[in-house]
A and B are shown apart, each in its own frame.
Chain A
């Protein structure tokens, strides 16, 4: 299933992605008819003493540990909640963006154990006890990741909304060894849509960053 959420090229992801969506639908259907659910998820430490009326706090929630950007966060979470919505609505990590919520645009790309996944097609409960890296966790303090720096240098974005997903995908694209040529970069970055049309600049940025990252490794 992890493989199925890979946002790599269509030739690899196509059928497995469909399978994944089917299985996801089955899971959601099963869970939504379960116990009445209260406020969908709240960091455990912030659960109010007195639950607001009609909220049903605590009922049907699942307790998970989410390890995001090196920090472990405990959550009581509605099993329907996607990793994307858990990050955005519960952990205030809004850098990861929702562009379609259907796995078709790549704006929500994050890393799960170092692999790029679409967080809108990943339930938060599936990410428990695993390493989640988001755009907020890429820089080392004030020092930008080489891909982040190259995106600024090459103007690899305009509105910036797809950018977190593009950057997470670009880092993975380089780490996967798919930055060997412009053509290869274009192919392996085509799961991330950019309506502003910054694609040629994104390719330039990945070339620069890949060279830099290679230099750092060797």
Chain B
């Protein structure tokens, strides 16, 4: 690994396409003879469709077809998680009249223009036999159940010290106890690019342009729902306009669009509306988290108990592993117990959303730790340092490369944590109360089996290809950088290919795993391609190296040297009349998985001011220190962390989907009412990296980076709000009305104690 390229700030290789409007997203596809699909969605959350009158819509100008449960397109049940590459939606639409959530697909109108399809859709009349939906925690009580597993462990994980019978005994034996409950609403990913599918058939072969985090997985899932062989499907997705998890699974509008295109023998493009994005492509489930921390007076943890309840739909199970991925492992404690139960609601299917499990879990754990710090009267940084876990609790394996305490120290120094006044409400600036808060950040490091191709070309360039994706994460650039680094070539000489299911297989870009998974395959393929190049050079009569021994010829920085000669690979290839030489290699994690635990860590520090009269919270500054192994591209890595933090600002202060109990309808399914952070909400963010390579994890030493930024951010903000006002808001998001009135009463430090 050379330090010439890796770790330097590199402009995105796709930057020019993106700033000139020439980057083609899935909805941008223009096709000959194209038609437009517009989805019909249900207006009740539970019940049956009794009848649909499509006659007016069908006669509407330009309409090619109206598909409904009464005029369906045949679709098959989707693959279950173990069969499919990712857990997608499995229930095919239009195959029956059953309604399980508001906004469910009940039809597809296809017309010559978007306007004609949209307006014809408005002319379809649907009669329902509606039932009262399950759309609240209270209604959900009788639909509560325990999942089979959570994050590959049991639904309840108990780690108890010898002689301790139960976690409750351990809590009872603790001198100090913090016992708190936090709730979170449903959150929606809301990438700026709505999901889009353009389906084009050539005979019985389907080409589908789709906004997806996984072209390989999408191919498998679409093929299975259409009932065709996956070899007949090609998925293309060179650019994804943001995803954050909601493009990680296949959603049914995509094969439905393809089925319509097959039936009509014309290309069909379906783009979801923003409102449809709320009900058709997943969300982060609502959660209730109950945390009980038992500690000695000096803050040493004696017991950690974290019970999570999260919502699922009636059609799809997804476990938001908020305790199993956080309290289960972050701190050292002789007694730890985490548990999870699920509650069915009549909503669309939940799915992974940026830092699944960790984002909500770290919110409650890190707020509870702050409450414990107050309870013990010690500094929050000191409390965390004191309870740092050296080994993975219950497994007793070390982490491959953990530098969390260094994150705390560096963060505290850069932020100026020593200037914090620990007394809530003590710092005031006019009408504003100022507070500082901090939290840890945490996300598991994943690595999956991936393949890549490296190809030397006669024109002196090289190509790096893999069926991975760039969600805005910078994969295009990282592929070029790692290719350039492996081949000793300038980045300008590297062409990259991704987002095409015809390329060597790579995993879905989720779980912050793409760089960690794909780069080892590129490095391996580069070495194989070099070997093949040398073999070719010594065997061909027209090559200057003809007849040389293989061990005498070496490759370095694009040049072959040996037998007293040297020549660049381009001239060698053109000299022997070959256009290219290439190698495909696969790489996967080995037995290190048994011996180590793999996580990224970090520390988040922030300062807020809270308006005394309006309760408005303004984030003033933020410092983030991340321990994510090798930083591959300093520029995009910084952006990724920044983006995670901005997501966390929204989660803490403004986001949340409002579900109407009576109707099961989302009341704020648009950008005017579902508020995400705007430019004016985001201050300067100071980002630092520990940058220690985790070479046990993979040769490059790079762990994932896309998700960890959101973790810890909401808790750091909540803790800063407490420091500013003395108010603990345990019901996210922290809206102004939850803080009011400020100063009218004593700071609300409510912690129930057990003795």
Contacts and interface: CB of A to CB of B under 8 A. Distances in A.
Question: A and B, one complex?
Answer: yes
Interface of A: 32, 36-41, 52, 54-56, 59, 78, 80-81, 85, 88-89, 92-102, 104-105, 107, 134-136, 138-139, 144, 148-149, 151-153, 155, 157-164, 167, 185-187, 189-190, 192-203
Nearest to A148: B19
B114 A160 contact: no
A13 B676 CA distance: 19
24 contacts: A37-B62, A37-B116, A38-B61, A38-B62, A38-B112, A39-B113, A54-B61, A54-B63, A56-B62, A85-B114, A95-B21, A97-B192, A98-B194, A101-B273, A149-B19, A152-B15, A158-B473, A161-B192, A190-B678, A190-B679, A190-B681, A192-B679, A197-B642, A197-B646
Given A54-B63, A159-B472, A161-B191, A197 B644 contact: yes
A96 B640 contact: no
Given A104-B670, A159-B239, A159-B243, 15 more contacts: A39-B112, A54-B61, A97-B193, A144-B16, A152-B11, A155-B11, A157-B15, A195-B192, A196-B242, A196-B472, A197-B642, A197-B647, A197-B677, A197-B682, A199-B677
A80 B115 contact: yes
A3 to B, nearest CB: 20
A159 B242 contact: yes
B744 to A, nearest CB: 29
A105 B241 CA distance: 14
B21 A100 contact: no
B61 A36 contact: yes
Contact of B61 (A37, A88, A95, A201): A37
Contact of B18 (A157, A192, A194, A195): A157
A176 B124 CA distance: 46
A97 B241 contact: yes
A8 B639 CA distance: 26
A98 B22 contact: no
Interface string B250-291: 000000000000000000000101100000000000000000
Contact of A95 (B20, B240, B635, B678): B20
A158 B640 contact: yes
B27 A98 contact: yes
Interface string B673-700: 0001111111111000000000000000
Interface residues of B, number: 69
Contacts of A98: 27, 194, 271
A27 to B, nearest CB: 14
A104 B114 contact: no
B158 interface: no
B684 A200 contact: yes
Given A153-B11, A159-B192, A85 B62 contact: no
Nearest to A183: B680
A98 to B, nearest CB: 7
A81 B159 CA distance: 63
Contact of A96 (B20, B21, B115, B191): B21
A83 B432 CA distance: 44
Contacts of B151: none
A40 B116 contact: yes
A51 B302 CA distance: 79
B645 interface: yes
A135 B217 CA distance: 33
A142 to B, nearest CB: 9
A157 B20 contact: no
B28 interface: yes
Contacts of B11: 152-153, 155
A102 B113 contact: no
Contacts of A164: 21
Contacts of B468: none
Contacts of A194: 192, 679
Given A36-B61, A193-B192, A198 B642 contact: yes
B194 A99 contact: yes
B289 to A, nearest CB: 25
Contacts of B27: 94, 98
B679 A186 contact: yes
A161 B241 contact: yes
B193 A102 contact: no
B672 A104 contact: yes
B104 interface: no
A-B pairs, top 7 by smallest CB distance, nearest first, are A95-B21, A197-B646, A159-B472, A161-B241, A40-B113, A160-B18, A158-B472
Interface in B9-55: 11-12, 14-25, 27-28, 30
A41 B682 contact: no
A135 B678 CA distance: 22
Contacts of A189: 679
Contacts of B25: 94, 97, 161
B13 to A, nearest CB: 10
B193 A161 contact: yes
B20 A148 contact: yes
B72 interface: no
B636 interface: yes
Contact of A158 (B474, B671, B683): B474
A177 B113 CA distance: 40
B643 interface: yes
